[in-house]
A and B are shown apart, each in its own frame.
Chain A
Amino acid sequence: AQKVTQAQTEISVVEKEDVTLDCVYETRDTTYYLFWYKQPPSGELVFLIRRNSFDEQNEISGRYSWNFQKSTSSFNFTITASQVVDSAVYFCALSERNTGNQFYFGTGTSLTVIP
């Protein structure tokens, strides 16, 4: 069974639009961590955020914000006023305390921001 589901395979938005990338996870651990990574066209994987299961506060960093809801097992990522440089593949990942440092990655959402 997929532990991390990113149902949106591809999204296209026009520059300056807001866009939300969905991430749904599955775990039985009470202690776990959720991550988002960005993979721009150049190919590297860039860490964006880490959240632990005990902290449901939403996080905002510039135009980026994350909404963590344990009740729906979701950790969604919103980009406000999107820019062309936001075009990338975004991966959500889960790490469970009981399985060591193993990451479970979603299949990624490819975001294209059209100028």
Chain B
Amino acid sequence: DGGITQSPKYLFRKEGQNVTLSCEQNLNHDAMYWYRQDPGQGLRLIYYSQIVNDFQKGDIAEGYSVSREKKESFPLTVTSAQKNPTAFYLCASRKGTGNSDTQYFGPGTRLTVL
């Protein structure tokens, strides 16, 4: 079945550590996105990528980094520079760039800093 997978589902990190969240899609979508969701809040865009080897900062990119070496994969690294990383992280992909192109989401990774 086509879809988006994220791993791990739950992640615990000690302060000062970098961690990488995985996102893989087999939908052959060009664009991929990372969002952060805090309790009771909407989604905020961290990074997005329209094509391989290209990505742009979203609204809250500080303390995060990404790579897009393959079309299927868009990993997110939460660095020690991110002051408050405890949150729910959602990865999404979209086939094209038209207004009607729907974003599809993965199941999410819940990151907790101990």
The reply to whether chain A is a binding partner of chain B is no
Measured CB to CB, the residues of B under 8 A from A are none
A residues contacting B by CB (< 8 A) are: none
